[in-house]
Structure 1
Amino acid sequence: MSRIIADIPNNWWVYDRVRGISFPKDNFQFIFDIEENLQTVFSDRPWSFNYWTMIPERWTANPPDDFLTKFEVRIRIRHIPYNYYTRETMHDLEKAIGKVEEIAFDPNISHVVNMPDTDPHF
């Protein structure tokens, strides 16, 4: 717990503008100096620490029953072979993933392939 409280603010880039408090049952809370710093953290969530997903959320005294039981995540699927670069493939992937709100794919526009020297993740 102490490592989370010490390290996470550095990952959030707010290390000198937030303080952490640990509670029983592996719970913790961060208190931000100003709302803008909190919104900075919220804009990039979810976060991870030591291979665990962390979903910061605003504290509430009476959370609903489903509080922190689900979260949105963006998935980027890369290196799809060209012969599968079709609308049908995108919908098959959508079915396998679960609930999907948007597929950023339009077969009617040109697509640029990143070459190894321009894409560090290639």
Structure 2
Amino acid sequence: MPKCRIWDVEGRVRGKNLGNNKFQFDFDKEEDLQKVLLRRPCHFNKWSFSLERWIPTIKEDFPNSMMLWVTVMGVPTHYKKDETYRSIGGALRKWIKWMSRMAE
């Protein structure tokens, strides 16, 4: 469970590992759930995760991805070019070109 200082709902939420990298959290109060949902995306133990209210059927707009900011450090000078950053971005899925300018 995320530490109390992260969600501030200690003792009012229970978590269960459902397997297959899925977890279920049961909140005692709706306002606690809403407070946690407003703090998305969530981070715990050096992992980022998507937290969504469960609904019995998945809608078209149900989130299936998460935007993250990646800082690439230690790239040798002769590799600091778009091709290198495109390769790294491609491995992470979607590439945003302006990010490579920040590393130069």
TM over 0.5: yes
- Equivalent residue runs for 1:36-47 within 5 Å: 36-47=31-42
- Residues 1:57 and 2:52 aligned together: yes
Gaps of 5+ in 1: 1-5, 75-93, 98-122
2:98 is matched with which residue? 96
Aligned twin of 1:70: 65
SS in structure 2 of the partner of residue 36 of structure 1: helix
* Matched pairs, number: 72
Note the aligned Cα RMSD (angstroms).
2.6
The one-letter code sitting in structure 2 at the alignment partner of 1:16 is G
The yes-or-no answer on 1:21 pairing with 2:20 is no
Name the TM-score, length of structure 2 as normaliser: 0.56
**Within 2, Cα distance between the matches of 1:65 and 1:18?**
28
Runs of 4+ in 1 over 6 A off after TM superposition: none
Measure the CA separation in 1 of the matches of 2:3 and 2:25: 9
TM-score of the superposed pair, with normalisation by structure 1: 0.49
**2:30, 2:68 → 1: CA distance?**
23
Q: Structure 1 residues 9, 63: CA separation in 2 closer, same or farther (over 3 Å shift)?
A: farther
* Distance in 1 separating the partners of 2:55 and 2:3: 21
Using the TM superposition, name which of 8-17 and 30-39 deviates more. 8-17
Identity of matched residues, %: 38
Equivalent position SS for 1:37 = helix
Q: Is the 8 A contact 1:9 1:18 kept in 2?
A: no
Q: In 2 relative to 1, CA 63–9 (structure 1 residues): closer, same or farther, beyond 3 Å?
A: farther
The one-letter code sitting in structure 2 at the alignment partner of 1:26 is: N
Q: Larger Rg: 1 or 2?
A: 1
The one of the two structures with greater contact order (alpha-carbon pairs below 8 A, sep at least 6) is 2
Partner of 1:80: none
